[in-house]
Amino acid sequence: MPENRVDRSQRIPYGSESANGSEAMISLWDLDLKLLDSSKRFKEHIGLAFRNEMTLWEAYPTLAKPAFAELIRQVIDTGEPRTIRLDDPKRRKCSVLVSSIRAGLLIVENNGAITKDVPPSADDEKALLIHQATHDVLTGLPNRRQFSSALAQLFPVSGKIGPVLMQLDLDDFKPVNDTLGHGAGDIVLKLAAERIKDALGRGGTVYRLAGDEFAIIQAGTQRTLEAEKLAEALVAEFKKPFTVNGISVFVGVSVGIAIAPRDGNEGEQLMKAADVALYAAKQEGRRRARTFDPAMLIVVEQRELLRRSLRVALQRDEFFIEYQPLVKPPSNVVGFEALLRWRHPTLGVIPPAAFIPMAEADGLMRDIGQWMLEEACREALAWPAHYTLAVNLSPAEFLTPGLTDRISQTLDIVGFPAERLELEITEGVLLERTTNNLDTLNTLNVLGIQISLDDFGTEYSSLSYLKNFPFDTIKIDRYFIRDLLQDTKGQTIVRSVIGLAHGLDMQVTAEGVETQQQAVWLQKEGCDRLQGYGISPPLGADKLDDFIRQGARTQSIATFGEFHASP
């Protein structure tokens, strides 16, 4: 077989030859027996009837006979290759080697009559190995290896308008894997690949790079407007639901567009430009397409500056903690939630939403979280002895080894009672209901630490969490409180959560309480604790003494009435 050469006009990159020296007729079919890919000679032999959506039965009508169809099914089920002799009046006599791969079936057609099953030849096996090395096994698309090779061959570009590169990233794909399982995720990826190919038509080639990342190369001279229209069409197509095992799943797509040579005259430069454009699409809300603009680099550079600063922020003592009161209706402050803040030396106070995901991605949250827990416990020692301290545990912290030992040691070193500590976790850390997760929560519970399920109702809200894990408190997210008085459905949900929690011997905290009317409604329904800017914004540690001493009177006291610290 000759060496592998990439032919940009063909999606199968090899030109395997049969024993007599002519190019073999090779075709790849998915598990629905629809054509995924084929060699040049296969296309030439099929002629005018060739099309991408062709079925196996159309290409090989004889294989549709029950006996042969059963053989095809056996190949798929057992993985054992079979050689089948065909004698179709409309075609010459031949034999086909049918091999099973994860993406579907590989069929190699040979000349001559073979009257019995024979093992695959060395050339057949080599063709299969080459295909597997250059194609994604799940979707059948060319993979990152083939993408890099194809992109490199397009440069340098001599004209004013060259190839277009699009980087695609699926939005909200992770929840599909987390809630429906990886099998459902695989189905979505295959359907997404088909949707991209259908929208693209014959105007380029789509590749699966990794995970839920895809790329499109349009090698012809494409105008910017044409590329943007295609990207917008892709975004529109992904607004339609995917059906997985009878369930409608919504997974969007964000697209970054880069055009050579304007945005780069080598593969790596063009990839960086497309990545930057994709990042801009994500930052602007996802489910949209953006074309690279040099101004986007400023945002990326600022982000990288922030990332570098974050790595030394702990050593430079730039973090601090604010505390927001937790109130037991009608008026008793019973504790505070600790909220991490970062004061950048030149940019000022950075919102947690801007730096915590970055810290998690860079593996910094273990050290930052440890500092926050110890500092908050030390400051809470000055509060009334029955006040509780609530501290958030990020998913990155929760999943690190040795968490319970570190927390226990911190409480011992500081001298803070375990029963006064409440750790808040989100549902995201419990998606994998592993023994380790349950052991961690049980160990914390045995230590006497209170466990709170934060942001309940906005993520996956599986009732199995409440059954399987030892929670003491459920925190209703502010989303349900914001329009509580006008939204009867929201009222029903909040009322149901309160009843469910109390039935399971758990308390309920409502976040985002901003008006007296909300507080009165929640008190009437039996909500155990309230928290929100209407009661008090987060306070610096230096202001807590005055807050407690003055009876927890805040600027919003006229709205809420006489809130005071419990004696």
Here the CATH number for the domain that contains residue 206 is 3.30.70.270
pTM: 0.59
Which structural domain range is residue 68 located in?
Answer: 25-134
Identify whether 13 is part of a domain. Answer: no
- When comparing pLDDT for 53 and 207, which is higher? 207
Do 278 and 409 lie in a common domain? no
End-to-end CA distance of the chain: 87
- Each residue's pLDDT tens digit, 517-564: 999 999 999 999 999 998 899 999 988 888 887 754 443 333 344 444
Identify whether 508 is part of a domain. Answer: yes
Identify whether 452 is part of a domain. Answer: yes
- Could you tell me the pLDDT band of residue 112, with boundaries at 50, 70 and 90? very low
Check residue 90 and give its pLDDT. 54
Flag the least confident range among 234-238, 394-398, 549-553: 549-553
Instruction: Give the domain-ending residue among 232, 261, 294.
Output: 294
Highest mean pLDDT of the ranges 23-37, 185-199, 406-420: 406-420
Identify whether 530 is part of a domain. Answer: yes
Do 285 and 254 lie in a common domain? yes
Planar angle of CA 279, 281, 287, nearest 5 degrees = 130
- When comparing pLDDT for 441 and 180, which is higher? 441
pLDDT at 54 over 90: no
pLDDT at 161 over 70: yes
Check residue 289 and give its pLDDT. 95
- When comparing pLDDT for 455 and 49, which is higher? 455
| CATH number assigned to the domain comprising residue 513 | 3.20.20.450
Q: Which helix (H) or strand (E) covers residue 168, if one does?
A: strand 164-171
Do 343 and 265 lie in a common domain? no
What would the mean pLDDT of 95-101 be, rounded to a whole number?
Answer: 69
Helix axes 182-200, 224-237, angle to 10 degrees: 140
- Could you tell me the pLDDT band of residue 89, with boundaries at 50, 70 and 90? low
Do 441 and 340 lie in a common domain? yes
Identify whether 382 is part of a domain. Answer: yes
User: Strand 332-344 and strand 348-350: pairing?
Assistant: antiparallel
Report CA-CA distances (Å) from 557 to 267, 335, 383, 546, 549. Answer: 62, 18, 22, 15, 15
pLDDT at 477 over 70: yes
Do 349 and 451 lie in a common domain? yes
Planar angle of CA 180, 186, 189, nearest 5 degrees = 115
Q: Say which residue the tokens 């301290």 belong to.
A: 389
What would the mean pLDDT of 60-66 be, rounded to a whole number?
Answer: 81
Check residue 302 and give its pLDDT. 80
pLDDT at 485 over 80: yes
Do 517 and 375 lie in a common domain? yes
Do 341 and 251 lie in a common domain? no
- When comparing pLDDT for 560 and 157, which is higher? 157
Instruction: Give the domain-ending residue among 231, 264, 294.
Output: 294
Token code pair at residue 315: 């050593």
Whole-number Å distance between alpha carbons of 154 and 141: 19
Identify whether 456 is part of a domain. Answer: yes
Instruction: Judge whether 258 and 193 are in contact, CB under 8 Å.
Output: no
Do 403 and 435 lie in a common domain? yes
Instruction: Give the domain-ending residue among 232, 264, 294.
Output: 294
Do 404 and 516 lie in a common domain? yes
- Could you tell me the pLDDT band of residue 13, with boundaries at 50, 70 and 90? very low
Instruction: Judge whether 523 and 329 are in contact, CB under 8 Å.
Output: yes
| CATH number assigned to the domain comprising residue 37 | 3.30.450.20
Do 194 and 73 lie in a common domain? no
Residue/partner pairs of 188-197 with CB below 8 Å, 24 or more apart: 188/242, 188/244, 188/249, 188/251, 189/138, 189/139, 190/30, 190/138, 190/139, 191/242, 191/244, 192/238, 192/242, 192/251, 192/253, 193/139, 193/140, 193/141, 195/237, 195/238, 196/168, 196/234, 197/52, 197/141
- When comparing pLDDT for 72 and 112, which is higher? 72
Check residue 514 and give its pLDDT. 93
Identify whether 548 is part of a domain. Answer: yes
Question: In 304-331, at which residue ranges do the beta strands (DSSP E only) sit?
Answer: 319-328
- When comparing pLDDT for 65 and 251, which is higher? 251
pLDDT at 192 over 90: yes
Do 51 and 195 lie in a common domain? no
- Could you tell me the pLDDT band of residue 406, with boundaries at 50, 70 and 90? very high
Q: Average model confidence (pLDDT) for the chain?
A: 81
Do 288 and 334 lie in a common domain? no
Sequence letter at residue 225 = L
User: How many structural domains is the chain composed of?
Assistant: 3
